[in-house]
Amino acid sequence: MFEFQSVNMGKKLKIFILYAKLLLDFAIDFFFSLYWDKRKKPIPDLESKHAILKESATALAKKIRNKELKSEDLVRAVVERIKEVNPIINAIAADRYEAALTEAREVDRLVAVGLSEQEWQKKPFLGVPFTTKESQAIKGMPLTMGLWSRRKEVASEDSEAIIRLKNAGAIPIGSSNLPELLVWQETRNLVYGMTNNPHHTGRSPGGSSGAEAALTASYATTISLCSDLGGSTRMPAFYCGMFGHHPTPGSTNLRGVFFRNGDEESMFSLGFIAKHVEDLAPLTKIVAGDKAKGLNLDKDVDIKNIKFYYLESTNDVCVSSVRAELKGAMKRAISKITQELTTADAPQPYHHEGFNHMYVLWKYWMTKEPDNTALLYTNNTTEANGILELIKKVCGLSKHCLFSVVRLIELQFLPAVDSAWAEKLTKEFKDDIFTKLGENGVLLMPSAPHVAPYHYSCLLRPFNFAYFAVVNALKCPATQVPLGKDSQGLPLGIQVLAAPNNDGLCLTVARYLEKEFGGSVMACKSK
Ligand SMILES: *[C@@H]1O[C@H](CO)[C@@H](O)[C@H](O)[C@H]1NC(C)=O
Ligand SMILES: *[C@@H]1O[C@H](CO)[C@@H](O)[C@H](O)[C@H]1NC(C)=O
């Protein structure tokens, strides 16, 4: 991007930028903390009568099948738990609790009568309730995408993923909050307000599936269906201490999600957030349908036979520097893995020039997505003008969030990315990284430069989701893995990336790290 008279000069400038960014980062966190730390509210502990909510969806489904648990009791427990925590996290957009209870009683009747082995095969999650981001169409439920102009819109039919989950026996109990038009690192809009991170309610749970992660981390949902175009499954999972899997793009059916018809070539994928890794493969299979086979989800490789690479940080000028505590978490994971391997196979550092342009590459590939943000902004009536919308916002005449206005301005008035450059770099990047990883290699990489940010502070660091977004640009799978807490009690973690269709490899490593590092980081205690 810049041309320097001498390499030396360039190096000095890089170091200067590095320190300037770090200083700015600390200043932002310091000033926001003065406001938000006083407003932190605790999440009530999980009561022993709801202890069942600690279990995985897979274990719950098994209990229902074995008649050790009634679906009605499970649905009631989830509803009661939501009612306890939702006033603090504001995650639920709309609910169907009564209908879900009726459906659960129907399941219990069915189980009492008895199902054939074949019927059980088709319904692996019979009687287990689920929630999903509001952008996923559920017949009769709101479908606003967080737009004020759509606040009365109701979905006329189920999305393909909802149909598949229902066919698998799962019961929708509610939809959850999202950022206006989905593409943002916070979960806020004018229809439903703002969702809080349960670990620190003055911080963002991430976006766009922030409410799903907030519910999961508070024991308030059992299955959490998300979607990810620039980190929307993995980022909230990271900020809330959960696991999240982003399957290889093209494998999950997008019909009925965020206006998609399901045929588009896209870097968008449906995914799940979960407390337990064991849920991620069976749930991904359901939304992938016939394409599940291609993801090798059941591939269970011995850690010793996996080739590990790692990326500590990048020099992307758009993105803050990775904080020491996150680097420490990665180092602990690497050293644990190193103990398992022979020295010859020790994890190797990996880098490619593409990692220095993570945000710009994603920005370029976003122009190939079918969504027209300026049109969506007005509920598909006319193309909005970013500058006019900014003036309206400043004058208090806007029904949109500032981040949507800023995104519109970026799309309309900032220079476009050089397409020949972006396509060439992406191709070289993919060739290099996927050749290296092959069928048995994974890359451990940062999730974000920092832990969950304070509310509104993302506007000052808008590109810090780029470690997630670059994975979308590469169109490969990645799993978000929690790795304990930092000195302030906030979740740490890393991403595990593999070559396309090696989803099972990501999950194998996630399972290993879950066992070694304590798994998901819950936002409250359980009695
Ligand atoms: C928003 O768009 C939908 C079609 O997607 C339409 O049915 C509805 O009337 C529109 N609402 C407003 C307020 O323009
Ligand atoms: C927007 O309207 C056009 C027709 O004017 C229609 O083809 C398209 O599907 C609509 N898009 C959305 C997202 O509603």
pLDDT(412) > 90: yes
Catalytic residue, from 135, 208, 266, 398: name it: 208
Determine which of 37-46, 259-268, 399-408 has the lowest per-residue pLDDT on average: 259-268
380 CA to middle of ligand 2, Å?
Answer: 6
349-368, pLDDT tens digit by residue? 999 999 999 999 999 999 99
User: Ligand 1: which residue has its CA nearest to atom 13?
Assistant: 149
CATH superfamily of 54-367+416-517: Amidase signature (AS) domain (3.90.1300.10)
How deeply is 294 buried, as exposed, middle or buried, from its count of CB atoms within 10 A (0-12, 13-18, 19+)?
middle
Q: Is 227 considered catalytic here?
A: no
Beta strand residue intervals within 107-154, DSSP E: 129-133
Contact 76, 107 (CB under 8 A): no
Ligand 2 site-directed mutation target among 380, 381, 382, most atoms within 8 Å of CB: 380
The reported pLDDT for the residue numbered 370 is 94
The reported pLDDT for the residue numbered 3 is 46
User: Ligand 2: which residue has its CA nearest to atom 11?
Assistant: 380
User: Ligand 1: which residue has its CA nearest to atom 11?
Assistant: 150
**Separation of CA 222 from chain center:** 16
What average pLDDT is seen over the chain? 96
Residue, of 195 and 18, whose pLDDT is higher? 195
The finding on whether 372 has its CB within 6 A of some atom of ligand 2 is no
377 CA to middle of ligand 2, Å?
Answer: 12
* CA pair distance 240, 229, nearest whole angstrom: 19
Cβ of 361: how many Cβ atoms within 10 Å? 26
Q: Is 152 considered catalytic here?
A: no
53 CA to middle of ligand 1, Å?
Answer: 38
Q: Is 133 considered catalytic here?
A: yes
* CA pair distance 386, 375, nearest whole angstrom: 11
The finding on whether 383 has its CB within 6 A of some atom of ligand 2 is no
Contact 496, 442 (CB under 8 A): yes
The reported pLDDT for the residue numbered 527 is 83
Mean pLDDT of 95-119: 97
pLDDT(235) > 70: yes
**Separation of CA 35 from chain center:** 27
The reported pLDDT for the residue numbered 17 is 81
Q: Where are the domains of the chain?
A: 1-35, 54-367+416-517
141 CA to middle of ligand 1, Å?
Answer: 15
Confidence of residue 1 (pLDDT cuts 50, 70, 90): very low
* CA pair distance 90, 85, nearest whole angstrom: 8
* CA pair distance 485, 241, nearest whole angstrom: 8
Ligand 1 site-directed mutation target among 145, 148, 150, most atoms within 8 Å of CB: 150
377 CA to middle of ligand 1, Å?
Answer: 12
82, β-bridge pairs: none
Contact 193, 201 (CB under 8 A): no
The reported pLDDT for the residue numbered 2 is 46
56-87, pLDDT tens digit by residue? 999 999 999 999 999 999 999 999 999 999 99
The reported pLDDT for the residue numbered 7 is 59
Contact 133, 211 (CB under 8 A): yes
* CA pair distance 186, 240, nearest whole angstrom: 12
Positive or negative, the CA dihedral 439, 444, 445, 447 is positive
Task: Please list, in sequence order, all residues whose beta carbon lies within 8 angstroms of the beta carbon of residue 168, skipping any fewer than 6 positions away.
Answer: 122, 123, 124, 125, 126, 286
The reported pLDDT for the residue numbered 6 is 57
pLDDT(347) > 70: yes
User: 489 phi and psi, to 5 degrees?
Assistant: 85, 15
Write the secondary structure of 49-95 as one string of H (helix), E (strand) and C (coil): HHHHHHCCHHHHHHHHHCCCCCHHHHHHHHHHHHHHHHHHHCCEEEE
Ligand with the closest atom to the CA of 147: 1
pLDDT(333) > 80: yes
> Helices 466-474 and 419-437 meet at what angle, rounded to 10?
80
**Separation of CA 340 from chain center:** 29
Contact 252, 308 (CB under 8 A): no
User: Ligand 1: which residue has its CA nearest to atom 7?
Assistant: 153
The reported pLDDT for the residue numbered 39 is 94
The finding on whether 259 has its CB within 6 A of some atom of ligand 2 is yes
Contact 225, 138 (CB under 8 A): no
Question: ∠ CA(192), CA(371), CA(501), 5° rounding?
Answer: 100
Q: Any residues with Cβ below 6 Å from ligand 1, and which?
A: 149-150, 153, 379-380
Atom of ligand 2 nearest to the CA of 376: 13
The reported pLDDT for the residue numbered 16 is 84
The finding on whether 380 has its CB within 6 A of some atom of ligand 2 is yes
Question: Percentage of residues in the chain with pLDDT exceeding 90?
Answer: 92
User: Ligand 2: which residue has its CA nearest to atom 4?
Assistant: 380
User: Ligand 2: which residue has its CA nearest to atom 6?
Assistant: 380
Mean pLDDT of 433-443: 97
61 CA to middle of ligand 1, Å?
Answer: 39
Mean pLDDT of 475-497: 98
The finding on whether 120 has its CB within 6 A of some atom of ligand 2 is no
Radius of gyration of the chain (CA): 22
Note every long-range contact of 426-432, with CB atoms under 8 Å and residues 24 or more positions apart, other chains counting: 426/354, 426/361, 426/364, 426/365, 426/473, 426/474, 428/352, 428/353, 428/354, 429/352, 429/353, 429/354, 429/361, 429/474, 430/474, 430/475, 432/352, 432/354
